[in-house]
Structure 1
Amino acid sequence: MNIYGSTISMLEKGLDYSSTKGKMIAQNIANIDTPNYRAKTVSFNEVLKNAQSEPIHAYRTNERHINFSTKVYQPGVSKLSTLKYRQDGNGVDMDKEQADLAANQIYYNALVDRINSKFNSLQNVIKGGR
């Protein structure tokens, strides 16, 4: 029996995605002056497409059971190889990175607030509503 439900698990995956995206944005900002550096991005859609295209397998006790898998997917990190914003070949746009950083921070804070709310609800149930 899972007392937490799937909500906390999904919020955890969202926090993982946001954390990975934040690291990529910080790495892009840190390499703003590196010649020929290509900006990196985190794409959840890429991971979702890959997950849907892979065959799904699991232990089945009957051939009529549906196949499934418990494989964990991490957000996909990819380079934006076609973008060049400066003469030295650097592909980092500081304005875009700062906007992405702000949006990611808002997303992360919303997830943290939601997970805190979920834990407060569980704590309230455990205390018996007191």
Structure 2
Amino acid sequence: MDLFSGTIDTLQKSLDYASVKNQTISSNIANVDTPNYKSKQVVFKDVLNQELSNSIDAKRTHPKHFQFEATNKLPYNIIEQKNTTFNHNGNNVDIDKEMAELAKNQIYYQSLIDRINGKFNSLQTVIRGGK
């Protein structure tokens, strides 16, 4: 039985993504004055496009069935931004951008937590018999 049609699993993976993004942004902020430090960014879109272009391989019971290929990779990558320099010491961390990204990510994370809490509250209501 798949409780909530996989919603909890999707929300968990989204929380993992938000957590990694928060760690990456925090690392950028912590290294704002480190000489030659290059900021890092968590990207999802590039990985999605790459995965969509790959074939999927699975057991085919009929020649007209699609081919599938299962992957267990993370749905995001951490890339280093090497193409810019904002400071005289070779560092490219833009503190204003990082703080804005951190605030945006915190709002996203909190919305995911609220959604999971709503799912568990619904389950708790059912267990209690609607009370």
Q: What is the TM-score of this pair, normalised by structure 1?
A: 0.91
Shifted more, 86-95 versus 6-15: the winner is 6-15
Residue 102 (str. 1) matches residue 103 (str. 2): yes
Per-residue Cα deviation, 1:11-42 (whole angstroms, up to 9, x for no partner): 11211111110010011111111111110001
- 3-state DSSP class of the match of 1:24? helix
2:81 match: 80
**Aligned mates of 1:84, 1:109 — CA distance in 2:** 32
Q: 1:128 to 1:62 in 2, by over 3 A?
A: farther
What's the CA shift for 1:70?
4.0
Instruction: Report the residue type matching 1:19 in the other structure.
Output: S
What's the CA shift for 1:66?
2.8
**Aligned mates of 2:69, 2:123 — CA distance in 1:** 29
Shifted more, 119-128 versus 106-115: the winner is 119-128
2:130 match: 129
What's the CA shift for 1:65?
2.9
**Aligned mates of 2:109, 2:83 — CA distance in 1:** 29
2:120 match: 119
Return 5+ residue gaps in structure 1 as ranges. none
Q: 1:114 to 1:70 in 2, by over 3 A?
A: farther
**Aligned mates of 1:69, 1:7 — CA distance in 2:** 23
What's the CA shift for 1:58?
1.3
Q: 1:22 to 1:85 in 2, by over 3 A?
A: same
1:52 match: 52
- Within 5 Å, give how 1:3-82 maps onto structure 2: 3-74=3-74, 75-82=76-83
Q: 1:68 to 1:121 in 2, by over 3 A?
A: farther
**Aligned mates of 2:91, 2:19 — CA distance in 1:** 24
Q: 1:84 to 1:50 in 2, by over 3 A?
A: same
Query: Does the CA contact (< 8 Å) of 1:51 and 1:73 recur in 2?
Result: no
Give the % identical residues.
48
Q: What is the TM-score of this pair, normalised by structure 2?
A: 0.90
- Where does structure 1 differ by over 6 angstroms across 4 or more consecutive aligned residues? none
